[in-house]
Structure 1
Amino acid sequence: MHPIFSSNRTLLSVAILWSLLCCLIAFLLIKLDQQGHGALLITLQTLPLYGLLLFFGASNYYLCLRLPLANTPMPVLLVAQTLAAAITIGLWLVVALGWNWLLDQMSFQHAEAMYFDLLIANVLIALVLYVVWILVHYAYLGAKSEEHTSARSLEHQLLIKSIELEAIKLTVHPHFMYNSLTMVANLSLAAPEKIHDICVKMSDFLRYSVTYGKQDKVTFGDEITHIENYLSIEKERFGERLRVNMAIAPETLDKPTIALVLFPLIENCIKHGIGSQFEPGFISIAIEQRETLTHISISNSFDPSGIKPRSTKLGLSSLEKRIAYSFGPGAQMKVTKQPGQFMVELYLPALSQNPISLTGG
Structure 2
Amino acid sequence: MINPFIKNKKLLLIYSLLWIFIAAAQSLILIFIVDAPFDYSIADGIVFNGLYSFLGLSFWYMVNFNSLDNYPAYKIILNHIASAAIITTFWLAASYFILSNIIDDPEYLTMLDESLIWRAIAGIMFYIIIIAVDYVIIYYNNFHDKVLKEAELRTLVKETELKSLKYQINPHFIFNSLNSVASLTLSDPEKAREMTIKLSSFLRGTLSRNENRTNSLKEELENSRLYLDIEKVRFGDKFDYVEECDEDCRGGEVPAMLLQPLFENAIKHGVYERVEKVTIKLKCKRENGFLKISLENNYDPEAVPRKGEGIGLKNIKNRLKLFYDNENLISTDKSDGIFRVNIYIPEKK
Q: Same fold by TM-score, threshold 0.5 exceeded? A: yes
Give yes or no for contact 2:181–2:195 (8 Å, CA) kept in 1: no
SS in 1 for 2:329: strand
Given the alignment of the two structures, is residue 310 of structure 1 paired with residue 316 of structure 2, yes or no?
no
Given the alignment of the two structures, is residue 272 of structure 1 paired with residue 269 of structure 2, yes or no?
yes
Residue number in structure 1 paired with 2:258:
261
Q: Could you say if the C-alpha distance between residues 348 and 29 of structure 1 is closer, same or farther in structure 2, counting changes exceeding 3 Å?
A: closer
Q: Could you say if the C-alpha distance between residues 146 and 313 of structure 1 is closer, same or farther in structure 2, counting changes exceeding 3 Å?
A: farther
Supply the distance in 1 between the matched residues of 2:195 and 2:121 (Cα, whole angstroms). 90
Aligned length: 252
Residue number in structure 2 paired with 1:338:
334
Instruction: Point out the structure with max Rg over C-alpha.
Output: 2
Supply the distance in 2 between the matched residues of 1:28 and 1:212 (Cα, whole angstroms). 63
Q: Could you say if the C-alpha distance between residues 134 and 314 of structure 1 is closer, same or farther in structure 2, counting changes exceeding 3 Å?
A: farther
Given the alignment of the two structures, is residue 23 of structure 1 paired with residue 78 of structure 2, yes or no?
yes
How far the C-alpha of 1:217 sits from its partner, in A, is 4.8
How far the C-alpha of 1:305 sits from its partner, in A, is 4.4
Percent of residue pairs identical: 18
Q: Could you say if the C-alpha distance between residues 286 and 125 of structure 1 is closer, same or farther in structure 2, counting changes exceeding 3 Å?
A: farther
Supply the distance in 2 between the matched residues of 1:172 and 1:20 (Cα, whole angstroms). 66
Residue number in structure 1 paired with 2:286:
289
Q: In the TM superposition, what are the counterparts of 1:60-139 in structure 2 within 5 Å?
A: 124-139=126-141
Supply the distance in 1 between the matched residues of 2:296 and 2:121 (Cα, whole angstroms). 74
How far the C-alpha of 1:169 sits from its partner, in A, is 1.2
Query: Which of 154, 174, 186 pairs up with 1:152?
Result: 154
1:28-65: CA deviations, max 9, x gaps?
666769xxxxxxxxxxxxxxxxxxxxxxxxxxxxxxxx
Query: Which of 144, 147, 154 pairs up with 1:142?
Result: 144
Given the alignment of the two structures, is residue 177 of structure 1 paired with residue 178 of structure 2, yes or no?
yes
**Matching residue's letter, 1:152:** R
Q: Could you say if the C-alpha distance between residues 28 and 231 of structure 1 is closer, same or farther in structure 2, counting changes exceeding 3 Å?
A: closer
Q: Could you say if the C-alpha distance between residues 311 and 18 of structure 1 is closer, same or farther in structure 2, counting changes exceeding 3 Å?
A: same
TM-score, length basis structure 1: 0.54
Supply the distance in 1 between the matched residues of 2:75 and 2:121 (Cα, whole angstroms). 22
SS in 2 for 1:166: helix
Supply the distance in 2 between the matched residues of 1:286 and 1:124 (Cα, whole angstroms). 71
Give yes or no for contact 2:217–2:249 (8 Å, CA) kept in 1: yes
Give yes or no for contact 2:184–2:192 (8 Å, CA) kept in 1: no
Supply the distance in 2 between the matched residues of 1:350 and 1:184 (Cα, whole angstroms). 47
Q: In the TM superposition, what are the counterparts of 1:205-216 in structure 2 within 5 Å?
A: 205-215=202-212
SS in 2 for 1:172: helix
**Matching residue's letter, 2:334:** Q
Supply the distance in 2 between the matched residues of 1:286 and 1:123 (Cα, whole angstroms). 73
Residue number in structure 2 paired with 1:242:
239
1:223-244: CA deviations, max 9, x gaps?
2122122223434544554343
Structure 2 unaligned spans of 5+: 1-66, 90-117
Give yes or no for contact 1:294–1:349 (8 Å, CA) kept in 2: yes
Q: Which has the higher contact order (CA 8 A, sep 6+)?
A: 1
Supply the distance in 2 between the matched residues of 1:119 and 1:266 (Cα, whole angstroms). 80
Supply the distance in 1 between the matched residues of 2:226 and 2:81 (Cα, whole angstroms). 81
**Matching residue's letter, 1:131:** V
Given the alignment of the two structures, is residue 167 of structure 1 paired with residue 169 of structure 2, yes or no?
yes
Supply the distance in 2 between the matched residues of 1:214 and 1:14 (Cα, whole angstroms). 42
Supply the distance in 1 between the matched residues of 2:183 and 2:135 (Cα, whole angstroms). 72
**Matching residue's letter, 1:337:** D
Supply the distance in 1 between the matched residues of 2:85 and 2:212 (Cα, whole angstroms). 69
Supply the distance in 1 between the matched residues of 2:218 and 2:183 (Cα, whole angstroms). 30
How far the C-alpha of 1:263 sits from its partner, in A, is 0.8
